[in-house]
Amino acid sequence: MTLALEFESKTVTALVYLSVFTGAYKIITVVLGYLSVLLDVFVLPGVSLNKYGAKKGHWAVVTGASDGIGKEYTLQLAKRGFNVVLVSRTLSKLESVQTEVQSKYNVETKLVSFDASLDSEESYQELADAIAGLPVTVLVNNVGQSHSIPVPFLETPIKELKDIITINNTATLRITQIVAPVIVTTARQKKTRGLILTMGSFGGLLPTPLLATYSGSKAFLQSWSSALAGELKSDNVDVELVISYLVTSAMSKIRRTSASIPSPKAFVASVFKSLGRRGGAQERYATSTPFWSHALMHWWIENTVGVYSAVANTLNLNMHQSIRARALKKAASKKE
């Protein structure tokens, strides 16, 4: 009887110690994770673009380069001394950005008019021809499309569904297959590193009702980009998925900036400021949530309710139901 009581006492003591240790470990892990976010966003410098051949005659390829975030990537890469291949659908808009780049920065540019929704072999070949022989070290996969307004999946127009998947996924993969081998070759020959940035989204971070197709397309880019990072690491090519919440742009239809909604200029500046650091994406390989408020939002969601939780899903649903109702009301008023 005494031995049984002694064994029970030791077991209870061991369980208490284990619980205390587990709780302390969890608290320490959370605190260190949060400190890492703050250090990445506010203190520690990112990787210098000099590592990728800035100001050495090297080239960057930017898709969706005519507006918003893509235009800012173009301008800020040119400012740092990269020649730029601008890829987008509308040639007149590309020419306008080209004029701005050439008036501000002493770099070369090339234009490729490319409608990603068409998934055209001729367009892919035109891009391949445009970069043939160029020392390309940077690719920015920025081209993308969302839904015109939040919409139930079962009511999503077929063309909209196909365009989102083709632009966000198929075209991004095909373009990367064309440009990445050139980056690998340049990195090897010039003894430098290559960089592939792909634009992610909170829509891919959190399953998003009423944006189901877009949400799925961006979640796909997360897995693909992280896998690609593992494949190209030995080729001296860094691959990073860049996650953003809302940014003022034609796609978001938001014009006013705020603490949580930066301008494209401020957002892209945050990308290059913290390049190579995870920001709010501490739990994700080869991923960054760089803008300070987005980083804090990402980390807190991940470490409280969880990105795949019913709570997050319901909040997202309610928000997009409200956005859809306002959009439908606005459309109806225009018809009257």
**Bind-site residues for substrate:** 201
**Rounded to whole angstroms, how far apart are CA atoms 91 and 151?**
31
Strand ranges across the sheet with 59-63: 109-113, 83-88, 59-63, 136-141, 194-199, 237-242, 287-288
Question: SS3 for 125?
Answer: helix
**Rounded to whole angstroms, how far apart are CA atoms 228 and 44?**
26
Structure-token match 């690491």, residue found: 233
Q: Which two tokens stand for residue 187?
A: 């990195």
- Mark the binding-site residues, compressed into ranges: 201
Q: Which two tokens stand for residue 146?
A: 């969302």
Question: SS3 for 114?
Answer: coil
**Rounded to whole angstroms, how far apart are CA atoms 49 and 76?**
11
Q: Which two tokens stand for residue 178?
A: 């064309």
**Rounded to whole angstroms, how far apart are CA atoms 209 and 221?**
18
Q: Which amino acid is at 256?
A: R
**Rounded to whole angstroms, how far apart are CA atoms 42 and 271?**
13
* CA 234 from centre of chain: 22
Sort 31 into a burial class: Cβ within 10 Å, 0-12 / 13-18 / 19+. exposed
- Report yes or no: 235 and 194 within 8 Å, Cβ to Cβ: yes
Within the chain, residue ranges assigned H as helices are 2-38, 68-79, 91-104, 121-131, 158-165, 172-190, 202-205, 212-232, 264-273, 292-303, 310-335
Q: Length of the chain, please?
A: 336
* Active site (annotated) includes residue 214: yes
Which entry of 52, 73, 214, 245 is annotated as an active-site residue?
Answer: 214
**Rounded to whole angstroms, how far apart are CA atoms 336 and 138?**
49
Q: Which residues are catalytic?
A: 214
